[in-house]
Structure 1
């Protein structure tokens, strides 16, 4: 598979950066970002390619209400365009806002019948 040039992603990168409040940080070293900024950056890098399947781990952790809502909106758009979003999360509000199906997993010991 041929790799697409960065210029083909630039408009999407700029849009995501602004929507996720990262626009002012585009030239920053990722290691200098806060925890919430790093989380948004990791999600944005995946969203930039408009994937068919997106797997996320706690995508809303450390986000304020506005950024949380924007992230949920972006993911809803992705789903409405036909993509699949799979997320591991403890955020029940996120699950309710985005979830189509929910699989709840308990502690390993409880699954094995241990006390």
Structure 2
């Protein structure tokens, strides 16, 4: 279980997150919905340790942790970014295995087995030797999800997972997120799409721009 206690974050005089309390149960989906400027992506970035908070505490299974602590061997929150941020010069396999190899110091047999298992789980089994430019938007997104999952995060978070896709692919994304839930993966989905959020979320957090 992931808990946020009295989290606050400001940029200059603008308070983007104000005393937020939040609980994300294991295996559940939190959908964070609202307009641009409402603090959705800032919340995700603080969870991922990409931004520091001004006040508040993060707890995992009752134990306080610091998301910015890079000494953690396994991530608490893994992020699938809106633009995927894949390395264009690396194959799908190398994109997935780079961090486990460099950060987790896994041996080749371990990271290869993990990458192959994730590829099969996410429908990428035939694409491990392809490069990002050879893939569709939906396939690139699945590679980004596999890359995040390869770091064994406790929670998987997505920043606007439907925004870069054709409307017809939204249902595929819904199905993928719900399939991962059935496998016990805890997830946070940041989106501006209220219908999408209601379709997938066990819990809905609506934020408003100020």
Tell me if TM exceeds 0.5. yes
TM-score, normalised on structure 2? 0.41
Instruction: Give the aligned length.
Output: 103
| Bigger relative CO (Cα 8 Å, ≥ 6 apart) | 2
- Whether 1:14 aligns to 2:119 is no
Task: Tell me which protein shows more helix as a share of its residues.
Answer: 1
In the alignment, which residue of structure 2 is the partner of 1:92? 195
Task: Tell me which protein shows more strand as a share of its residues.
Answer: 2
Report runs of 4+ in structure 1 exceeding 6 Å deviation.
Answer: none
Counterpart CA distance in 1 for 2:160 and 2:194 is: 8
In the alignment, which residue of structure 2 is the partner of 1:50? 152
Kindly provide the CA deviation profile for residues 23-70 of structure 1, in whole angstroms up to 9, marking residues without a partner as x: 111001123211111111101111123311222113355336456423
Alpha carbons of structure 1 residues 87 and 70: separation in structure 2 relative to 1, 3 Å:
closer
Counterpart CA distance in 2 for 1:15 and 1:68 is: 21
Counterpart secondary structure, 1:40: helix
Alpha carbons of structure 1 residues 15 and 59: separation in structure 2 relative to 1, 3 Å:
farther
User: Structure 1: which 5+ runs fail to align?
Assistant: none
In the alignment, which residue of structure 2 is the partner of 1:103? 205
Kindly provide the CA deviation profile for residues 52-110 of structure 1, in whole angstroms up to 9, marking residues without a partner as x: 1222113355336456423421244243xxxx42211226345433x23211123x3xx
TM-score, normalised on structure 1? 0.66
* Structure 1 vs Structure 2 CA RMSD: 2.7
Partners of 1:17 and 1:26 within 8 A in 2: yes
